[in-house]
């Protein structure tokens, strides 16, 4: 939320604090001129302050609703096994039914509170060298005063790690074209599997075998090369 506060304080006409000068004798008409010039001047009223872009954003942000964010994911994942992960905003019986249907074997993890509106876009960010993420289902049963949304993605880890980082990037568009962004992160343990270990072994074995074969070929060529006869 952006809040711009401008404190405009108008000062009144304070009495003149400068020392007054005394004239012993004034020429005719001088008293009238002096009285005319000594009248206090009234300051012109300040023009109305135009509403700026930040104030418009702040005014629209005041209409956003607080919603609790909850991740639904397995406590751990396996390498090269695709599983569904979801992010929920708000809660309702209808949304709970969808959770039971789409994410039956997951555990909830609190993601904090975010300010959202009736329209929210969600994108799952993940390092492509760590995992693949594909959008799956999106559900909204929101009412005018209650946000109830759910997004799910299919995630396939590519290697074991103690903390696979997933980040849900939320975009809340405002009517004037500005967008409010939220990032909600989740870390998941990824286990090594027998198939992954075997694949690494054979991959390494093939690499070392290729190196060994190349080395043997070089030795064989050197051995077959003609040697100069002693004179």
Query: Given the DSSP bridges, would you call strands 76-78 and 179-191 parallel, antiparallel or unpaired?
Result: parallel
Asked whether residue 16 carries a pLDDT value surpassing 80, the answer given is no
Amino acid 2: pLDDT: 31
Rounded to the nearest integer, the mean pLDDT of the chain is 76
For the segment 109-137, the average pLDDT, to the nearest whole number, is 96
Residue 145 within a domain: yes
Question: How far is 95 from 90, CA to CA, in rounded Å?
Answer: 9
Asked whether residue 206 carries a pLDDT value surpassing 60, the answer given is no
Stated pTM of the model: 0.63
For the segment 73-96, the average pLDDT, to the nearest whole number, is 95
Amino acid 226: pLDDT: 62
Amino acid 195: pLDDT: 85
C-alpha distances in Å from residue 37, one per residue of 13, 20, 30, 31, 32: 16, 13, 11, 10, 9
pLDDT tens, residue by residue, 42-60: 545 545 544 555 566 556 6
For the segment 146-159, the average pLDDT, to the nearest whole number, is 96
Residue 134 within a domain: yes
Residue 45 within a domain: no
Please tell me the total count of domains within the chain: 1
State the CATH number of the domain containing residue 94: 2.60.40.10
Residue 26 within a domain: no
pLDDT bracket for residue 196 (50, 70, 90): confident
Nearest 5°: the CA angle 185, 191, 193 is: 145
Residue 146 within a domain: yes
pLDDT bracket for residue 208 (50, 70, 90): low
Paired residues of 168 in beta bridges? 124, 184
Show the domain range for 162: 59-191
């Amino acid at each position: 939320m952006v809040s711009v506060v401008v404190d405009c304080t108008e000062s009144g006409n304070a009495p003149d604090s400068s020392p007054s000068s005394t004239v012993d004798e004034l020429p005719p008409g001088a008293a009238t001129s002096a009285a005319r010039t000594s009248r206090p001047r009234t300051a012109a009223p300040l023009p109305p302050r135009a509403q700026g872009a930040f104030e418009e954003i702040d005014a629209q942000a005041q209409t956003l609703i607080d919603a609790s964010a909850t991740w639904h994911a397995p406590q751990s994942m396996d390498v090269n096994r695709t599983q569904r992960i979801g992010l929920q905003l708000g809660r309702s019986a209808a949304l709970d039914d969808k959770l039971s249907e789409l994410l039956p074997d997951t555990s909830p993890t609190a993601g904090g509170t975010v300010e959202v509106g009736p329209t929210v876009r969600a994108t799952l960010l993940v390092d492509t060298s760590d995992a693949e993420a594909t959008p799956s289902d999106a559900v909204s049963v929101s009412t005018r005063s209650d946000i109830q949304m759910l997004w799910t993605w299919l995630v396939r880890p590519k290697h074991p790690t103690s903390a696979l980082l997933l980040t849900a990037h939320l975009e809340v568009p405002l009517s004037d074209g500005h967008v409010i962004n939220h990032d909600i992160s989740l870390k998941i343990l990824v286990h090594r599997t027998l198939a992954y270990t075997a694949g690494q072994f054979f991959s390494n074995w093939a690499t070392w075998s290729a190196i060994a074969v190349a080395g043997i070929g070089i030795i064989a060529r050197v051995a077959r090369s003609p040697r100069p006869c002693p004179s």
